Chain A
Amino acid sequence: MPTLNSLARPTVLISCFMLMLAITLLYLSQGFGRSSGMFPRFIGWVFVVLTAADVVVQLVAWYQRKLPASTETAITFKQLKSMGWLLGLVVALSIFGFLITIPAYIFTFLTWRAGHDKRRSALIAIGALAFVWVIFVWLLDYELYAGLLLNNLS
């Protein structure tokens, strides 16, 4: 007998999540006017049918123990940590701006996560900053975001 724990595998959960999303989008589409809602409602019905079929396929495959290896995807700590590094970069960019965050982020990533020596990490960080500055600021004349902190100070 399948236990709740074994049933709650990411691939089945994702299929159920997609079905819920499709139903929500179809429901929201009902609130739009005739012209604005016509196509979203049409696609919404198609979306619901497709995601429902996917849930059935995943459940049948699970009962037959034939889930393909590629969909046996547990959310690992490593994956969450990787997304955390991305989130950290976005947060740091919004607070400190590009020109401070880029070298600091690269240096931290290389020394802390990848275990490179500090001198090499600093050189790569400075090189990346120089690349961004030369291409975007000097050549293309873009004004890079200075960050909430510097904006508030000035």
Chain B
Amino acid sequence: MLDSFVTATLYLADGVTLMYLMLGVLVGLLFGIIPGLGGATAIALLLPLTFGMEPEQAITLMGGIMGSSAIGGSVTAILLNAPGTAPNAATCFDGYPLTRQGKAGLAIGAAATASSLGGIVGVVVLVAILPMAKSLVLLFGPPAFFMLAVLGLVSLTISNNNMLRGLIAAALGLFIGFVGYDDMGGTLRFTAGIDYLWDGIKLVPALIGLFAIAEMIRLMVEGGAISKVDRNELGEVKGVGAGFKAVFKHPRTVLSGSFIGTLVGIVPGVGGTVASFLSYSFTVQSSRDSSQFGKGDIRGVIAPEAANNAKDGGSLIPTLAFGIPGSAEMALFLGVLVLHGMQPGPLLLIEREWSLLVLIIALLLATIASACVIAVATKYLIKITFIDSSILIPTVLSVALVGAYALEGSLGDVIMAAVFGVIGYVMIRLDYPRITLVIAIVLGGMMERNFIQSMLMFRSDWTGFFRDTTSLVIFMIIVMALALPVLGRIRRRVRNANA
């Protein structure tokens, strides 16, 4: 491990690699600041640019984006009451009242520092758990891996408002994954006689379409400036240093937020929004004096921001160890790994340990670098949200389609990206979660392989899944995960009826 750590550190000390890291940080911050775009869109757009890079350079670039987009989102949450990404919504509760009191700098300084510290805690936990995960993963057989993938998809749908539509999106995603030539059975599936589809639906054009293009269609329909807030309402950013100090006056809030974020991140699909809201409500409930929360209590900024950035370290554990992404960003990151010939899972942990350490150190450096950039350049960065979206739309659409084409020089990929753009937009409008669809596409191959291997092991007797102890335990967790929200809803309805 130490050898790998040294190799990774030396690799990152190289000027070109550092340049990629800083590029990732800047892009992540910009996309994080722009409400509605976020890190997933940034990764989708930059993915094609990584083709010519070394795998570790691509990992560094993506680490830069992942480590910074969450911090970027906090800036608009504090200054404009418009969270850049969904997990930053909890920061609005106290961040915006602080801005109204003329303490925007204090809130931004605190958010940036808490995010960095949260990111550091998340990474430390990741480093501590990965060696254990390595031995744990080796105990998993095909039935357990299949059940784990099902758990990943199910837990994603639970965090969604419409659980049924989440599950439908997952099933649709699996079918999209079936398209093409099946290596195991030697059959063409769902190609409709189109030669282009023999190789299956390519991940990169699909991701570009679902995230970058779909968001641009949404902006085109909604119109206007990206920020819906009046430019004159923008507060002055002063006293960032005081925010930095304020975080160290509340170490308990930072630590509790960071640990909640890391733990929530480990569970696939639950994501940053749950982490930050959970951390916020925990801080409110555990505080002796909670009267100022919602009116501009600095702890209300620290807690969600620490949790939001800490979850990245946690969510890398299922992504790297089991190949099960916990969020849209992680699904896209898996796409980057696969594109560069790395198959996530136990072998990756053993064979490419130093590459993973490059990612971990890059994440760490990105959180610190982005906090510094935010502290210095917030008042300039925030101006991007007042750009008219009509300038952004044709530019991003053009670059996205060039990126889709660049993958294999195929016009079919351009058409595929556009088709998925429309699908993505329809999904946004009709409340079908795109993230579940993407993760199902990513997991489809792995799920089918493990399902068939399991059925061969059990001689086509599906009850074998319940005779395998690990698989049975995961199945019971799936049943509980599906049943608990339904039971909670029934209980609430009964209580309301009685009242």
| A131 and B390 within 8 A (CB) | no
A123 to chain B, nearest CB (A): 11
Known contacts A22-B171, A102-B398; A57 and B164 CB within 8 A of each other: yes
Main secondary structure of the interface of A (DSSP, over half): helix
B498 to chain A, nearest CB (A): 20
The residues of B that contact A113 with a CB separation of less than 8 Å are 390
Among A1-50, those with CB < 8 Å from B are: 10-11, 14, 18, 21-22, 25, 28, 32-40, 42-44, 46-47, 50
| A82 and B217 within 8 A (CB) | yes
B201 to chain A, nearest CB (A): 14
Contact with B along A100-126 (1 / 0, CB 8 A): 011001100110011010000000100
The residues of A that contact B178 with a CB separation of less than 8 Å are 39-40
Known contacts A33-B187, A106-B398, A128-B398; A116 and B390 CB within 8 A of each other: yes
- Chain B, Cβ-Cβ closest to A43: B174
Q: How far is the CA of A135 from the CA of B429 in the complex (A)?
A: 34
| B394 and A109 within 8 A (CB) | yes
The residues of B that contact A87 with a CB separation of less than 8 Å are 418
Known contacts A35-B184, A38-B455; A86 and B430 CB within 8 A of each other: no
Main secondary structure of the interface of B (DSSP, over half): helix
Asked whether any CB of chain A lies closer than 8 Å to the CB of B482, the reply is no
The residues of B that contact A43 with a CB separation of less than 8 Å are 171, 174-175
Q: How far is the CA of A99 from the CA of B425 in the complex (A)?
A: 27
Known contacts A106-B398, A128-B395, A141-B52; A94 and B189 CB within 8 A of each other: no
Asked whether any CB of chain A lies closer than 8 Å to the CB of B406, the reply is yes
| A89 and B397 within 8 A (CB) | yes
| B164 and A53 within 8 A (CB) | yes
B303 to chain A, nearest CB (A): 29
Q: How far is the CA of A114 from the CA of B393 in the complex (A)?
A: 10
A39 to chain B, nearest CB (A): 4
Q: How far is the CA of A43 from the CA of B425 in the complex (A)?
A: 25
The residues of A that contact B430 with a CB separation of less than 8 Å are 10-11, 14, 71, 73
| A106 and B185 within 8 A (CB) | no
| A54 and B168 within 8 A (CB) | yes
Q: How far is the CA of A116 from the CA of B390 in the complex (A)?
A: 9
| A110 and B394 within 8 A (CB) | yes
Asked whether any CB of chain A lies closer than 8 Å to the CB of B499, the reply is no
A59 to chain B, nearest CB (A): 13
The residues of B that contact A131 with a CB separation of less than 8 Å are 399
Q: How far is the CA of A37 from the CA of B390 in the complex (A)?
A: 46
Asked whether any CB of chain B lies closer than 8 Å to the CB of A150, the reply is no
Contact with A along B46-84 (1 / 0, CB 8 A): 000101100000000000000000000000000000000
The residues of A that contact B189 with a CB separation of less than 8 Å are 32, 36, 40
| A86 and B418 within 8 A (CB) | yes
Q: 8 other contacts beyond A18-B172, A36-B185, A98-B402, with CB at 8 A cut-off?
A: A37-B185, A39-B178, A54-B164, A57-B164, A90-B401, A94-B411, A102-B402, A140-B51
Using a CB–CB cutoff of 8 Å, the interface residues on chain B facing chain A are: 49, 51-52, 164-165, 167-168, 171-172, 174-175, 178, 182, 184-187, 189-190, 213, 217, 220-221, 388, 390-391, 393-395, 397-399, 401-402, 405-406, 409, 411, 414-415, 418, 421-422, 425, 429-431, 447-448, 451-452, 455
9 contacts between A and B (CB under 8 A): A35-B452, A37-B185, A44-B175, A78-B221, A79-B217, A106-B394, A106-B395, A128-B394, A142-B409
